[in-house]
Structure 1
C-alpha cells in the first residue's frame, strides 16, 4: 500500500493544494470524492467562514479532507481554538520563514489529540526536517515552479533530498499537472504529489470563468515572480498588476518596496478569482499552466494523472541506455 495513502487515509496519492478563493467546499469535496485529499484554502479566513466551509464540505463528502493554516503563532492560536469543534480529518500547515521546533511540537501534539493528521509544506530541507522532528505525519516539499508563495529550489532538487533524509511520506509539489510529472516525482523518491494550478482550471472550482480560461490560454513564460522584497515571493501571471509590482521593486530600496507593495497586493487575489479581473487581479498560477489545455472535472483530472503516470512508468522500463537494442525488466 502507498505510504502516503496509509498515513493519511486516502485512496489516491494526490493532494489538491489550498488556494484562497478557489479551494472552497465544492472543489475540495470533488477532489476527496475522487480519492484524493481536498484542502480548504482557509489559512487566514475568519472563524465563521472556516466553520461554514468545513460544515459544507462534510455535507458533500464522507472522505478525508484538510483545512490549511500558516505556522505563525497568532494564526495557530486562533484556529486551534475551533479545530476541536469542527474536527477536520487533516491539518495542512503552510510555512513562511523560519519554522520553530517548539511551535511544531506544541500544536502538532494538540491537533493529534483531536484525532487530526498533520501535513506540513516546506520550501527547504531545514524546514522539512524541523517539521518531521515536530511530529508531522507527511511532508510536502514545494519547488519554485509552483504558483503562489514560492521557494528558491527546484522540485527536482528538493524531492530527492527529502526522500534521502525524511522517514515520513514525501509529497512532491511545484510543476506537476499530469501523469508525466507524477511519474517523475515518483522516480525522484516521492510517495505522492500535490497539484494546484490544474485545479484552478477545474469545472468543480467556484471561481470566475476568466480565471479558468486564463490557465488554459497560458504560455511557458506567462508567470513572473513578485514580492521578493517582502521576503515572501509569489509566482503569478504577468499582467498590469505584476508590472506595477515589478516597477515598485525596481525603483525602491527593499524595505520601501515592501511597504509600497502591501496595499497594491491587498485584495488583488479576490479581484481576479471572484470578479474576473485578469489585469488588475492576482492569478497565482505555476509554470505548469502552459501544459493545461482544457477545463476538466476533479475526477477526470485525478483519474487521468494516475493512469498516465502508470503508463509512463511502464514505458520507462523499456528506456535504452545504449546504442544496442535491449530491454530492462
Structure 2
C-alpha cells in the first residue's frame, strides 16, 4: 500500500511526492540509499564530500540509472573543487544542490541560472537570512538534536525563528523519525522534514549490520555531543574511542591523531601539508589544538571506519539523538509510507477535535 501524497512548498519546489528529505550523510548516502528514497517518493541527497570528482559523476549516473525521480547532491561549499562539482551537477541534470555550509552568492547564482534548486543547511537564524538574501530556494534548519556537527539550539526553538525570518521554504531537521514529527514540523510552519539517522537505519542503507545493531541498541542517553574528535561540537554515539579521546591528555591525543592521520594520508594520497591545510579549513574559525586539526582533517576516515568497514571500535558513529527511539530497519519505501500514513492519521485526528463552544453571554 502506498500512502497518499501531501503537497507542501517543498514538494512543489523539487517535484517529489512526499515532504521528506534523506540527508547527504558521508559514506552512507550513496546511490543505493538515494535511489531507494527517490523511488519511494521522497528527496534523496547523494553525499559527495567523501567522493573524488570522477566518483561523483559515476555516482550521479548510477542514481540516474536506478531512478527517474528527482534527487540531489550535497556539497561542501568550502571545498577547493566545489566549482568543478557544481559543473557536474549542472551537466548531469541533477535537480537539487544542497550544502553543509553556506555557498557563496556567486555559486548560488550559477546553479540557479542552470535551473538547479539550491538548499543550504543552516544552524542559526542569521545564516538563513543571509542565504535567503543571496537567492537560496529553501533551507534545511538543523536543531541541536541532529547528528554530526551540530549546534546548541533545539529544533523546537530554532525552527519557528527561521520560519518567521525568511520567505522561502524551511525544512526541519534534528529529532524527526515518524509521522507525528512531520505534522509537528508542518504546524511550526516548515515545508517538510529532513532525516539522517532514520534513513541510515533502513534496509536500503549500506552501513554494516553490526554497526546498525549498535545504533538500535542505543538509548537516548547513549547519544552524546563531544568536541574531542575534531574540536567542534559533534553529536555521535558514545563509544570506547570517544571516551578515550575525551580522557586523553594533549600528548596522548596528539599521538593518536598522528597515527590516524598517517593512515588517512596513505589512503587519500594527501601530503602532510595538504592534510593540515584541510584540517585548518574545517575548523571554521575555532581555536583548535594540533591534534584536533589533524583529527578534523581525517574525520572522514574515522566515519569510514565505522560506516564502511564496520569498525565500531575505531570509527566515529555520528548520530542524531533520535537513535534512542528507533527500533527497526524498514526499507525506505516502508519507512516513508509509514510516516505518511501516520501523518495523515494525526492530521485527521486533529481536524476532528471538537471546538469549544463559546460561553453564553452574561446578561
Q: Is the 8 A contact 2:228 2:245 kept in 1?
A: no
Deviation, 1:176, is 0.3
* Counterparts of 1:265 and 1:212, CA distance in 2: 20
The counterpart of 1:255, out of the listed 289, 300, 305, is 289
Q: Is the 8 A contact 1:119 1:136 kept in 2?
A: yes
Q: Which has the larger radius of gyration?
A: 2
Moved more, 268-277 or 221-230: 221-230
Deviation, 1:130, is 0.8
Unpaired runs of at least 5, structure 2 = 1-6, 254-286, 359-363
CA RMSD of aligned residues (A): 2.4
- 1:54-80 deviation digits (Å, cap 9, x = unpaired): 010000000000000022162422322
Deviation, 1:286, is 0.6
Question: Is residue 132 from structure 1 mapped to residue 132 from structure 2 by the alignment?
Answer: yes
When residues 214 and 114 of structure 1 are mapped into structure 2, their CA distance, relative to the original with a 3 A threshold, is same
Question: Is residue 290 from structure 1 mapped to residue 324 from structure 2 by the alignment?
Answer: yes
Deviation, 1:246, is 1.7
When residues 277 and 53 of structure 1 are mapped into structure 2, their CA distance, relative to the original with a 3 A threshold, is same
- 1:263-317 deviation digits (Å, cap 9, x = unpaired): 7745111111112122221111111011111110000111111111222233344
* Counterparts of 1:158 and 1:249, CA distance in 2: 35
Moved more, 179-188 or 251-260: 251-260
- 1:75-100 deviation digits (Å, cap 9, x = unpaired): 422322433322311101111xxx4x
Indicate the SS of the match to 2:183. Answer: helix
Residues 66-105 of structure 1 aligned to structure 2 (within 5 Å): 66-72=72-78, 74-95=80-101, 99=102, 104-105=104-105
When residues 43 and 249 of structure 1 are mapped into structure 2, their CA distance, relative to the original with a 3 A threshold, is farther
Moved more, 276-285 or 118-127: 276-285
Deviation, 1:318, is 5.7
Q: What is the TM-score of this pair, normalised by structure 1? A: 0.89
Equivalent residue, structure 2, for 1:17: 23
Q: Is the 8 A contact 1:172 1:192 kept in 2?
A: yes
* Counterparts of 1:273 and 1:122, CA distance in 2: 24
* Counterparts of 2:237 and 2:50, CA distance in 1: 22
Equivalent residue, structure 2, for 1:212: 212
Moved more, 80-89 or 8-17: 80-89
Deviation, 1:259, is 3.5
* Counterparts of 2:114 and 2:87, CA distance in 1: 11
Deviation, 1:257, is 5.3
Equivalent residue, structure 2, for 1:57: 63
When residues 79 and 58 of structure 1 are mapped into structure 2, their CA distance, relative to the original with a 3 A threshold, is same
Equivalent residue, structure 2, for 1:192: 192
- 1:85-129 deviation digits (Å, cap 9, x = unpaired): 22311101111xxx4xxx532011111222211111101111111
Indicate the SS of the match to 2:333. Answer: helix
